Each structure stands twice: as structure tokens, then as C-alpha cells.
Structure 1
Amino acid sequence: MNFESLLSEMFSKVIFQLYKEYDYICYLYKIKLTKPMITIEDLTSEWGSWNPTFKTIRLSRKLITEYPWNVVIQVLKHEMAHQIVTQLYQSDSGHDSLFQQACETIAVLPRFRKAKLNFDDLAAKEDFPNLSSEDQVMLRKVEKLLNLAQSVNEHEAYLAMQKVQEIYQKYNIENIQKKNNELYESFFINFNRKVVPSTYQFIFALIQNHFFVNIIYGEMYDYLNQESYKSVEIIGKKSNIKMAEYVFYFLKDKIEKLWLEYQKNGNISAKYKLSFQKGVIEGFHSKLEKQNRKNEQNIKQNIESEEFNLPMLLKEEMTYLNNYTKKLYPKLSTKSSGSGSVYSDFYSDGKTAGKKIILNKPIAEEKSGVSYLPGKI
């Protein structure tokens, strides 16, 4: 079989997957459309198009081969929105209010609603470089403190980490008070695995509890391997997503290192690894809870207002985030991250180790601005 034949067969499978995605979008948002012909072509001036005469959605080959599947889905949704305008609204308009209404119907992300989608708009390594000046100021403050948090003096490091938590929490609360209308974003982590490790699930549960984001488990199609792998979508405001992303990679690497040290020092069997690592995450969770309660008390004391109701503000913010998440996924179901059975002694040792974790060095300042240093899956 020559290369062109192999490529043709590969794209045939991709098109089959696109039809599955198309059907799922219709099911998810309860819309009835005539199923179009979907093709992949060498488009040079557009990412996709909808042809109402031939009832065809065309997608760019470059889009399929060079961008993540979540980007492909958004471009597919963009063209489906045009189809909605044609078939359901009986209009031939372009990117006007009817098109925006159609985008709302199937939750097309705002940056994918433009008439022309620039390559940069679809950045495959979506890294949110255009953080607001306020976000950058907050993150630079955090950077300086996190340098202190690497101190060999445990007391100094702990105080620095407490201050980081306080600044981060205060920053979010101030934004909530201002009714900051910053748009929510999505960031995807693809695991290239069929199953999400249970330790990762525990880390994400902790992240959702402490970092003003929602975590959605799903699957992402890999056109090269013709397989769908587990993925996680982090939904929230840009600065919160970046902090959540860092915390995930930090804890993922940290629990592995702590286990290797623990195993080496005690010659411990590998069967106790999961119990120990779950304990580490629970210990770190309890440490964050304690810090957050203290930070909230400090914030309350520093804000002179009879109308200030912190629990109500936080609840209101999470309501906005949850409503946005529900709009993206109207048939969303919840996933439990219960501890399951563990070996109590090793879980307890892990919990003790987790309480000693100091969250340090998520970002590094460069001349061009702020960059982040997450690890890898």
C-alpha cells in the first residue's frame, strides 16, 4: 500500500469519527439537523466551510493533522452553527446575530465564532499568553514568594507558601467583588491512556476544591493512532487554569518522588504505593484547607464593609462557573473520587508526608512576560 492510499484510509477513519462527533453534538444540545456530507480537503484560506446547496461540511487537512482534537471539534461546531442558521432559522446570513445565537445553542467557544479564524487563535499549545496586566502582577508577586518557598529553612518556606495562598485567594475574591466579567476558558490535558490513574483523579478533585475551576473527564480522538484516549478539561478563568495546570503536574511528580523515597527508606512493597500516594494527596488537601480558613479570616479583617459576605461571594462565583459548565455540557454527570480501600498504615504515612508539601516554583519570569513550567504526563 503506497503512502497516498494509507493517508486516504486514515482520513476515512477520521471522517467516521467526525460523524460520531456530529451526532453526539446534536444529541447533547437537542438539535435536529439533516446529516451533511463531511469531507477533509486541502483548504488554503479557511479552516472549514458549510455549503447549504450541497449540504456539505468541509474541514481543512492541516486542521486535522496539526491541531488537537478539541480544536477540530470547535471548528466543526462553527460550521454546524452555519448549518443551524440555514436549516433551522431559514436564513443565508453570515456571522450576524443569528449565527451568534446558533453558536450559543451548541456552545461554540467565543474565540471560534469569528468570521476568520487566525492560526494563532487556534494555538495548538494553547497557553494563554495574553494574560491581563492584573493577572501578570499577581503572578509576579507569587513568583517572588515561591522563590522564598524553596528555602532550606522549613519555617521560612512555610510562611512564604502561606503568603502565596493568601495572595492567590485574595486576588480571586477581589475579582469576584468587582463582578469581573472575564470569560471562562477551557484547557485540555490529554493522557494518551485508556484509563485515568486513580491518583490523578484524587489530584483533580483537590484542584477543583481549591483553585476556582471545574474538572471535566472526557475522551480525545488521536487521528494518528485511530484511538480515543482519556482527557481532562479544566474550565475557569485564565489565571486559575494556569495555576490548576501547574498544581496537577507539580503534585503528579511530587507524589511519585515521595513514594520512591519512602519505598527506598523502608524497603516497602509496591502494592502499598496507591495507599501511600492517596494519603499524600489527602494530607496536602488538609493543609490547604487549614491555610484557606486562616487566609479567609485575614481577608475578612482587612476588608472594612458590613456588606462583605465571603461565603456568599464564593458561592456566587462557583454558581457562575457551574452554570457555564452546564451550558457546555447539558447532560453532565458527576464522578466520585472516593478513597476506596487502602492499607491504613501506609495511607497514614502518606498523609503525614502530604502535610509537609510546599507548593513551589510554578512560574518563571522572562523578558517577554510570564511563562509557566509544568511537567509532562
Structure 2
Amino acid sequence: MNREATFLLQAWQRQLVREHQNLCHYYRIALPTPLFEIGHGNSRAGSWRPDPEPGIITIAANLIREQSWDLVLEVLKHEICHQYVSHYFPTPQEAPHGPNFQRACQLLGVHPALRRAQGELPPPTAATSPAPPITVRVEKLLALAASANEHEAALAMAKAGELMRKHNLQRLSPAADPPPLDHYDYLVIDSGRQRRAAHHNHLAAILSDFFYVKTVSYQLYQPTADRQHRVLELLGSKENLVVAEHVYHFLEKQLERLWADFRQTNPGRVSGRERNSYYLGILNGLREKLRGQEQGAAKQTRTTGAGAAAPPTCSQLICAADGGLRRFHDQRYPRLRRSRGRGVRLYDSSYRAGKEEGRRLTIHQVVRQPPSNRGRLLG
């Protein structure tokens, strides 16, 4: 093993120690910090050994190399649950994944798919197959939204939004059966940046306000680069996650494309410092369009009156009423802290140009990502 590989393995061990301490602090669980080993077998994602004290947690090197760090954390939480049972219930009176282990999983918000011995790591939600029927219907409408006819494109986008609203209202109607725990999932989107871009809060707000998901922004370790990246986590029903993830990637690409076009049509008159203003204009223009479509008349309101609070959107109301989503969210994040971003200087002309572009923007071009193999045994 060369020096670079050895250094990386040591960095992973140090990061796992930090993650263990952070998780115990966040979930308010008092446990000693165990020793950590990086395993080199292919059969197990992780394991826990109580002896010698304070115990040893092993995490597979292949898991760290091949999967995103959020899944490494889920495996780590699974092993911490074994440590919790060993620490507080030392007499082996039940199976390794019995009631005490399940209670520990509740305490640490372990993903439902990783609460058993031979559970497979959850695949990316957008890659699950077959696609839910509602997702297929929304995809077809969004494909029509790529029409060169602006009226037809806007109509298709509005119909897709209406279809999602009806689906989510029916899903939560008193006559419907309550959804099982595995109906909900999370999805992590890596921005590829170490700092949060100014427009990301606005993009996340569009997803939570109009696409039936909750969002959490935080820093996540990137093991191949040994550094932290800013990520956005989406939480919701699986069909809503598929659509929301597509919207995120679509908007990110459109922001870059529209900015490049804007600079090309205004050579020498627009500086790179105005990019954030243009991005924010696009996102706020799109927000007005989505709100207008939701209200049934795009011309009804373009801006809210001075000092007037905008009424809650259908997405906000549904997410607030979805007891299953609240429980899933609160198990993963029992203690969340809200933070305000720093103020951003706005360049008025670029912001207004972006806002007009956002009012014309239609969401389309659904692209599916290929599934990845995430099967591993858990100890």
C-alpha cells in the first residue's frame, strides 16, 4: 500500500471517530468512543465487536470508496446501535437485531432498510425500478413541456403540477390507508462545493414550497477528497423525491445555460459578479410563475403587496399535514437549527433580466440515472 493510500485510510478512521462523537452528541446518547478499523473484505459493510473494551467498529473500505458518505453514516449508525445494546443491555437475552436493537435504531433515526441483519443499502431513490405510476405520468407531461410553443409548454407544466397536487391530496385523504414507514426516504444531492452558493437557499425553497419535499442543508464528508462538501438533503415520499431531484438538476443546468446566453447577448456590459443576481432573479421569477399556476391564474399576482405575507402553498400545507413524513423527518433530525444566509448584493438590471427569464422558464427533460449495486451484509 502506497503512502497516499495509507494516509487516506488514516483520514477515514479519524473522520469515523468524529462522526461517532457527533452522532452521540446530536442524538444525546452517552457511549464511549470505540476503536475503528477499515475492513478490506467484500461481504460485510460493517460490524461491531464488544471486546476488547471499548469495542471495535469495522467499516468496509469498499463501502467508503464506492458509496456516498451518507450511506456510510447509516451503516455506522447501525453499528452504534449494536454498541448501545452491548453497553446498556450487556446480558445477551435476545437476538442481535431484537427489540432493544430496534429501540436503539429509533433513537438514532436509522434508515428502515438498515434495521435488520442482511438489509441492503437503500439505492438512490431516483434509480428505483419500476417507476411509480404517478412519476411516469408526470414525466410524460414534462416531456410535453419541452415544446417550442410557449403556450403549450406552460400548459403541460401546469398540468404536471396539478397532477402532483391531486396525487398528494388523495394520498393523505382520510379514506386512504396510512402509508408504511418505507414509503418515505431521503436523497442527498452533492453540490460539489465546499461553500454554499448564494442561490442554493432559494432553489431549496422552491423544492419545499412547490414539490412536496422537506429540505435540509449541511456539510458532508467526501472520503475520496478528504474534505467537506455542502449538500442538500431531500426528504419525502419516494415518488415526490424523484420529481424534486429532477427539478433540482434541471434548474442548476438551466441557470448556467441562461447565464452564459445572457453574457453572450450583453458582451462587455455584464461582469461575473452579477451572476448571483441573475440566478436569484430567475428563481424568483420561476417562483412567481409556479405560484400563479397553483392559484389557477398566472396573471393574478406577480408580486406580493408591501409587507403582506404570501399564503402557504399547497406543498407546504401537505407536508405539514403528512404525519408519516413528519415522523420520518423528526427521527432523522430531532434537533434542527435554522440559520440565515449572508446578505447578497443585488445588481438591479441583471436581477430584473433574470426574473423575466424565470417567468418564461418551463421545467422539462426528465433524465433517469442508472441504478447502482449497494448490497452489503451488516453485522
TM class by shorter chain equals 0.7 to 0.9
Instruction: State the AA in 1 paired with 2:249.
Output: Y
Question: If each structure's helix is expressed as a fraction of its own residues, which one has the higher value?
Answer: 1
- 2:48 is paired with a residue whose SS is strand
Q: In the alignment, what sits opposite 1:36?
A: 34
Asked if 1 retains the 8 angstrom alpha-carbon contact of 2:213 and 2:241, the reply is yes
Contact 1:205 1:337 in 2 (8 A): no
Aligned mates of 1:148, 1:339 — CA distance in 2: 38
2:214 is aligned with 1:218 = no
Give distance in 2, aligned partners of 1:155 and 1:226. 48
Measured after TM superposition, the shift of residue 218 of structure 1 is: 1.5
Q: After TM superposition, give the deviation of residue 128 of structure 1 in Å.
A: 4.2
- Cα gap change, 1:141/1:372 in structure 2, threshold over 3 Å: closer, same or farther? farther
Question: For each residue in 1:218-253, what CA deviation from the matched residue of structure 2 results, as whole angstroms up to 9, or x when unmatched?
Answer: 222222222122111111111111111111111111
* Residues in 2 aligned to 1:291 and 1:212: alpha-carbon distance in whole angstroms: 16
Residue 102 of structure 2 corresponds to 100
Separation (CA, whole Å) in 1 of partners of 2:2 and 2:140:
54
Structure 2 counterpart of 1:160: 156
Asked whether the 8 Å contact 1:46–1:116 carries over to 2, the reply is no
How has the CA–CA distance of structure 1 residues 323 and 117 changed in structure 2, closer, same or farther, with 3 Å as cutoff?
closer
1:338 positional shift: 7.9
Residue 89 of structure 1 pairs with residue 89 of structure 2: yes
Segments of structure 1 that go 5 or more residues without pairing to the other structure are 296-309, 364-370
Query: Does the residue aligned with 1:217 lie in a helix, a strand or coil?
Result: strand
Query: Counterparts of 2:241 and 2:232 in 1: how far apart (Å)?
Result: 12
Question: Which deviates the most, 12-21 or 325-334?
Answer: 325-334
Q: CA deviation at 1:179?
A: 4.9
Q: Is the 8 A contact 1:220 1:229 kept in 2?
A: yes
The residue that corresponds to 1:184 in the other structure is 184
Match for residue 113 of structure 1? 115
Question: CA 1:316–1:259 in 2, change beyond 3 Å: closer, same or farther?
Answer: closer
Shift of 1:74: 0.8
Identify if the C-alpha distance between structure 1 residues 8 and 197 changes in structure 2 by more than 3 Å, giving closer, same or farther: same
Q: Which residue of 1 aligns with 2:295?
A: 293
| Matched residue, 1:332 | 336
Name the CA shift for 1:352/1:5 in 2 (closer, same or farther; >3 Å): closer
Q: Would you say the 8 A contact 2:39–2:60 is kept in 1?
A: yes
> SS state of the match for residue 296, structure 2?
helix
Q: Does 1:229 align with 2:225?
A: no
Q: How many residues align?
A: 344
1:9 maps to what in 2?
7
What letter corresponds to residue 16 of structure 1 in structure 2? Answer: R
Distance 1:319 1:337 in 2: 29
Unaligned runs of 5+ in 2: 298-313, 371-379
Amino acid aligned to 2:38: I
1:1-377 paired onto structure 2 within 5 Å: 3-54=1-52, 55-92=55-92, 93=94, 94-118=96-120, 121-123=121-123, 125=124, 127-130=126-129, 136-177=132-173, 178-182=176-180, 183-267=183-267, 268-270=269-271, 271-294=273-296, 314=318, 316-318=320-322, 320-336=324-340, 340-363=344-367, 371=368
- Cα gap change, 1:113/1:286 in structure 2, threshold over 3 Å: closer, same or farther? same
The one-letter code sitting in structure 2 at the alignment partner of 1:37 is L
Q: Secondary structure at the match of 2:361?
A: coil
Mapped partners of 1:319, 1:347: distance in 2 = 39
2:119 is matched by which residue type in structure 1? L
Q: Distance in 2 between matches of 1:278 and 1:312?
A: 21
Partner secondary structure for residue 198 of structure 1: coil
Offset of 1:142 from its aligned partner?
2.0
1:166-197, Cα deviation, whole Å (9 max, x unpaired): 11111111111125414321111122321121
Contact 2:280 2:351 in 1 (8 A): yes
Q: Deviations over 1:70-110 (max 9, x none)?
A: 11111111111011111113343311111111111111111
Identity %: 27
How far off is 1:278 after superposition?
A: 0.7
> Residues 148, 9 of structure 1: CA spacing in aligned structure 2 closer, same or farther, 3 A cutoff?
closer
**Residues 362 and 372, structure 1, Cα contact 8 Å, conserved in 2:** no
Answer yes or no: is the 8 Å Cα contact 2:35–2:56 preserved in 1. Answer: yes
AA aligned opposite 2:208: Q
Distance across 2 between alignment mates of 1:187 and 1:30? 24
Post-superposition shift, 1:316? Answer: 4.3
CA spacing shift, 1:292–1:338, aligned 2, 3 Å? farther
Q: Match for 2:340: what amino acid? A: S
Give the Cα–Cα distance (whole angstroms) in 2 for the partners of residues 337 and 5 of structure 1.
Answer: 40
| Residue in 1 that maps onto 2:373 | none
Structure 2 counterpart SS, 1:99: helix
Q: Is the 8 A contact 1:208 1:214 kept in 2?
A: yes
TM-score calculated relative to the size of structure 1: 0.84
Secondary structure in structure 1 of the residue aligned to 2:73: helix
Over the aligned positions, Cα root-mean-square deviation in angstroms equals: 2.4
Alignment CA distance shift 1:77-1:256 (3 Å): same
RCO higher in 1 or 2 (8 Å CA, sep ≥ 6)?
2
